């Protein structure tokens, strides 16, 4: 994907060792760490996204698709999955988020819904964020909306540059859409990449993940 973005003039690509990349991202001077705060993240991400999808003022979304008479049938499987989640006071959530997202993207492609207008792709990505963010919280309603607005702006750049038509992107569509959705959830939940990224225990298991919650300034 990085090569396709470079070809489209959206990025400058440099190849460096993984350890160096992790150190660069973890640096206090990196833009990804600029939003440190001491506010607790306690506003549910998924609920806000699902509510806003029926809000005429938050287009592009499901409401906008219906208004433009674009089929929303591709959302059926993901909506069924999200309906199985436990009540708000439940302590666990259903597994299978990755499979649910994969079905969603397959349905989007099968419906032959192109990225112009971006309504269908944006709506699909919002449901990806809602699915991966079932257990996650942001700081506020406006924080969630900021994340979705930034995601839509990035999606608009991908569309206008033509990168979505790139064969590499199309062949790995589910992976890239999942990557974008997961990145939005991590940002909203207040996590940053650490140098543990990619590290493994001797037995082959994870060494504790590659992200940690942002710490408020002292």
Task: Report pLDDT digits (tens) over 188-205.
Answer: 988 755 444 433 333 333
Q: What is the mean pLDDT of residues 111-129?
A: 88
Q: Is the pLDDT of residue 217 over 60?
A: no
Average pLDDT of the residues of the chain: 78
CB contact set of 166 (below 8 Å; sequence gap of 6+): 4, 7, 8
Tokens 């990145």, residue located: 183
Q: What is the mean pLDDT of residues 37-48?
A: 77
Q: Is the pLDDT of residue 89 over 60?
A: no
Most confident of 13-27, 92-106, 126-140, 198-212: 126-140
Q: Give me the pLDDT at residue 85, please.
A: 73
User: How far apart are the C-alpha atoms of 26 and 23, rounded to whole Å?
Assistant: 5
Q: Is the pLDDT of residue 42 over 60?
A: yes
User: How far apart are the C-alpha atoms of 196 and 198, rounded to whole Å?
Assistant: 6
Q: Give me the pLDDT at residue 12, please.
A: 76
Q: What is the mean pLDDT of residues 101-120?
A: 87
Q: Is the pLDDT of residue 23 over 50?
A: yes
Q: Is the pLDDT of residue 65 over 90?
A: yes
Q: Are 130 and 46 in contact (CB under 8 A)?
A: yes
Q: Are 129 and 143 in contact (CB under 8 A)?
A: no
Q: The whole model's pTM is what?
A: 0.73
Q: Give me the pLDDT at residue 88, please.
A: 55
Q: Are 8 and 163 in contact (CB under 8 A)?
A: yes
């Amino acid at each position: 994907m990085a090569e396709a973005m470079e070809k489209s003039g959206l990025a400058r690509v440099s190849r460096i060792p993984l350890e160096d990349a992790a150190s660069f991202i973890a640096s206090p001077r990196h833009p990804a760490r600029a939003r440190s705060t001491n506010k607790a993240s306690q506003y549910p991400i998924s609920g806000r996204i699902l509510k806003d999808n029926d809000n005429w003022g938050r287009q592009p979304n499901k409401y906008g698709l219906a208004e433009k008479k674009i089929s929303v049938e591709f959302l059926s499987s993901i909506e069924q999955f999200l309906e199985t989640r436990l009540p708000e006071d439940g302590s666990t959530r259903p597994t299978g988020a990755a499979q649910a997202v994969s079905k969603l993207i397959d349905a989007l492609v099968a419906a032959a819904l192109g990225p112009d207008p971006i309504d269908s792709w944006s709506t699909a990505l919002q449901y990806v964020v809602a699915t991966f963010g079932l257990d996650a919280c942001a700081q506020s309603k406006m924080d969630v909306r900021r994340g979705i607005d930034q995601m839509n702006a990035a999606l608009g750049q991908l569309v206008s540059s033509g990168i979505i038509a790139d064969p590499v992107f199309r062949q790995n569509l589910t992976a890239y859409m999942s990557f974008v959705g997961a990145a939005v959830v991590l940002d909203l939940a207040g996590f940053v990449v650490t140098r543990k990224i990619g590290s493994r225990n001797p037995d082959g298991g994870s060494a504790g993940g590659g992200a940690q919650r942002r710490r408020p300034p002292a």
